[in-house]
Amino acid sequence: MQRDETLLLLGLGLLWFYNGGNFQKKSTMNWTDEEMFIFNNCVKRTGVPTEAALAVYTGESGLNPKASSGAAFGIAQITAATLRDIGWSSPAKDFLQLGVADQAPWIEKLLNYQAKAVGFTPTNALDLYVTNLSPAAAKAHRDVIYSASVPSEVAAYEGNKGLDKAKKGYIDRADLALYLDRILYGETYKQAVDQLNRIRGLTR
């Protein structure tokens, strides 16, 4: 942890103490303020807006560090192959043993890895969601993310076909935008952003 972050965390601890211990109280999405502080610092160093990351990861995991589909793990639902690519050397399932604060630096590595893979840093939730689902689609700036008519994309389409509400046989950016819109009005995301804004106010 960098020196200025250490000093800022000490300041946060003092604020918590002088406010009767309420500062560290967990919200219903179960992150402490310190965890949000660390997550925000890790994400913002990549150039990705923290609100965008929170929106996408709310959709992926409900911001639960122990969430797993069996093929993807943690807050950002990182696959075993991608975990290896960003330097994780233990079994992928062991990633679930990390809490928010310990997953955050790995999410920073993930976002930097993704930006390098697609050739740009996502600056909004939709671009980040496309990048998370299909780096190939993001790199090519394709409207269609996965199509059931493309043999190499069938498995990915089937794994995400809940996004294709109109049953078109493909998932496009409009489908992701619709899903993200629902997330933005959901309680988990709203509580996360409220907590983020509170942290920003305390650390100005």
Q: What's the confidence (pLDDT) of residue 44?
A: 96
Higher pLDDT, 174 or 27: 174
**Each residue's pLDDT tens digit, 183-203:** 999 999 999 999 999 988 765
> Which residues make beta-bridge pairs with 171?
146
* CA dihedral angle for residue 6, residue 51, residue 133, residue 78, rounded to 10 degrees: 30
Q: What is the pTM of this model?
A: 0.83
Q: What's the confidence (pLDDT) of residue 17?
A: 38
Dihedral sign, CA of 15, 17, 21, 24? positive
**Each residue's pLDDT tens digit, 147-163:** 999 999 999 999 899 99
**Each residue's pLDDT tens digit, 86-111:** 999 999 999 999 999 999 999 999 99
Q: Which CATH class is domain 30-202?
A: mainly alpha
Q: How many CA atoms lie within 13 A of 8 on its CB side?
A: 16
**Each residue's pLDDT tens digit, 119-145:** 999 999 999 999 999 999 999 999 999
Q: Between the CA of residue 88 and those of 19, 69, 117, 134, what are the distances in Å?
A: 39, 18, 18, 21
- Residue-averaged pLDDT of the chain: 88
Dihedral sign, CA of 108, 113, 116, 122? negative
Sequence-distant (≥ 6) Cβ neighbours of residue 147 within 8 angstroms: 153, 157, 169, 170, 171
Question: What single-letter DSSP state applies at residue 145?
Answer: E
Q: Can you tell me whether residue 172 is helix, strand or coil? A: strand
Q: Where are the domains of the chain?
A: 30-202
Amino acid at 202: L
- Measure the N-to-C terminal CA separation of the chain; round to a whole number of Å: 19
